[in-house]
Every structure is written in structure tokens, then in C-alpha cells.
Amino acid sequence: MGSDCLFCRIVAGEIPATIVRETDTTLAFRDIGPKAPVHVLIIPKEHYADVAMLGQGDPALAGELLATAAAVAEDEGLLGDGFRLMFNTGTYGGQEVFHVHAHLLGGAPLGPMLARDVA
């Protein structure tokens, strides 16, 4: 991927981001348009389009991403009151950036899981 992908460019240091944690294989940085007092994106450095591709392609890396998310949640003081970790995927999921990223949201009550009931 590389130059066509916004988050690959953040990994490469070509686009600035507020990085809160980095491992050999993952990166966590603050969302540019936060939807909660804490809103951090956690990505694998390697490009996978979405969580299905990551989970099927490299389950160990998916686990490392979860470990980074948990460490950030602890650093941000979210373990006591809780948080939400989500992967928007594809058209129905509202995914806008096609480099897999977990949204870590917390710091206030987050309300219902969905804005409206679509069942």
C-alpha cells in the first residue's frame, strides 16, 4: 500500500499524528476528530484493509493490536469505568479509512451502542 494509504503514511512518519503508544508491530494515535474525551486509533503497522482481512490473515497480529489497545486503555485510565473498542468495517459499518483501525473510546458514558435501532 504505502503512499496511497493515509494510515500507512502516518506509520511512515509522512503525516503527523499524536502518537500515544508504539510497538514493533502496532501504533496508537489520537483521532483527529475525537468523538469522546478519549478517542485513540490503534492500527497494525502492516497494511490490512479491515478487521476481517487482519483476523484471517494474521491472527497473532490481531492479538498484538488488542494488547496495545488494552495498554492504551490502562494508560488513559479507562479500565475502571470502562470503554468501547470498535472496528467500523465496510460500507454498512461506515468505514472511511481502509487501513484497519480499532477505535478506543472512553472518558465519559458513551450511550447506546448504535445511534438508532436498525433491527
Q: Residue numbers of the site for Zn ion (CB under 5 A)?
A: 1, 5, 7-8, 47, 99
E strand residue ranges, 11-68: 19-22, 26-30, 38-44
Q: How far is the CB of 102 from Zn ion (least distance, A)?
A: 14
Q: Identify the residue among 8, 17, 43, 100 touching ligand AMP (CB under 6 A).
A: 17
Q: Report how far apart the first and last C-alpha atoms of the chain are (Å, whole number).
A: 36
67 vs 97, beta carbon nearer Zn ion: 97
Cβ-Cβ contacts under 8 Å for 99 (sequence gap 6 or more): 1, 5, 6, 7, 8, 43, 47, 48, 49
Contact flags string 27-56 toward ligand AMP, x per CB under 6 A:
----xxx-------x---------------
Any catalytic annotation for residue 39?
no
Q: How far is Cα 117 from Cα 119, in angstroms, rounded to an integer?
A: 6
| Footprint on this chain of ligand AMP (rule: CB under 6 A) | 6, 15, 17, 31-33, 41, 88, 94-97
